[in-house]
Amino acid sequence: MKKMNKLSISESHRRELLMGIGSLALIGIMPKTAHAQSDELIVTNWGGDWNDRTVKFIEAPLIESKGINIVRALNLEPERKTKLLAERNLPRGTIGIAHFSNADAYELNEQGILEQLDYAKIPNAKNIIPSLRSPYFMPWVYGGVTLAYNPKFIKTPPTSFADLWKSEYAGKIGVLDQSFFNWIYMAALVGGGKMNMVDSAFPKLLQMKTKLQPKIYPTHQHLAAGFANEEVWISANYSARIEQWKKDKVPVASSYPKEGAVTIVFGAVIPKKAPNKTAAYTYLNALLDPKGLGQYCEASMYSPSTSNAIVQESVKAKIEFTPQQITSLNNVDYAYQAKNIASWLEWWNKEFKG
């Protein structure tokens, strides 16, 4: 790919550039030059095994092999949102691709931050499951929140999210801080609420805190360790994560709740101010490569967003929901979540974790 021509910079432009670089320094990203190189793509993503698998099955073989240099900025959703918000008013941003859930993408799109995708530049997107398609968010994998339990201590599989409030599990409940919003949704369903009416969640969660003394874990990996050392007997997490842990010999099993799982879709977006959209579209197309996506799903145990991903039948049986379970899935109301999630997080940190 050709390098971009250098531009002469007037004094006013130089001041504007320096202000932009100063802003970028505040959010932790300093470009090497005034303009991103055509062979460089900054990708912000989750870390841990999520990123390891992304590199192994997608980025290294399908993108970096084409000469595109990926610079990885690994962090959690709040940090990613902060960076994109900070870059919104710059003449040119630094982030080329950002990984998010569909709910996070909705929120960012409402704030005018995301590119409306040109699917003609993503040939593999023609195989996306229609119900997952979005004009600004390219879905990659999906799943749902189900119950997780240690069968050594819980002989009868739990059947409801309400089982997380059973007194016999006091001190043995593991709560995942990283996906606090899912705990709010589960508590709301148990308390008689809905996905777009969660007021009943807060007294239920306070009841759990005071009477059952749950252990709070920052990441999936920490929660898995809690199951492994038997300090956790029961929790809830994405069904794919539970299957991963089982594969890694963690003593855990999955059970589908009668309330229905809480759905989640993961994918990627291109910010409007992305400096290298050609490379960004190459990246999105690679995410949906039938072989690469199939390998990622077999390793991560998430279901692919496309109909042509190459996944072994033995794995499909573990990662796909039954038609009846799909019918009972609890879909997120993105507008409702976007309006309320900041106040939910504040409550979670002050009242539930405090």
pLDDT in tens, 30-76: 444 434 445 899 999 999 999 999 999 999 999 999 999 999 999 99
Please write the tens of the pLDDT for every residue from 200-234: 999 999 999 999 999 999 999 999 999 999 999 99
3 domain residue, yes or no: no
Same domain, 71 and 147: no
What percent of the chain clears pLDDT 90, i.e. is strictly above it? 81
The predicted model gives 142-169 an average pLDDT of 97
Q: For residue 316, give its domain range.
A: 11-141+266-320
132 domain residue, yes or no: yes
Same domain, 46 and 166: no
Same domain, 196 and 296: no
pLDDT at 338: 87
Q: DSSP states of 176-214 as a string?
A: EGGGHHHHHHHHHHHTT-BTTB-TTHHHHHHHIIIII--
Same domain, 164 and 18: no
Q: How many domains does the chain have?
A: 2
The predicted model gives 287-311 an average pLDDT of 95
Sequence-ordered list of residues with C-beta below 8 angstroms from that of 13, at least 6 positions apart, any chain: none
Same domain, 273 and 285: yes
6 domain residue, yes or no: no
Same domain, 150 and 293: no
71 domain residue, yes or no: yes
pLDDT at 18 over 80: no
Domain with residue 173: its CATH number is 3.40.190.10
173 domain residue, yes or no: yes
Same domain, 202 and 333: yes
Token pair 């912000």: residue: 44
Distance, in Å, from the CA atom of 38 to the CA atom of 284, rounded to the nearest integer, reads 16
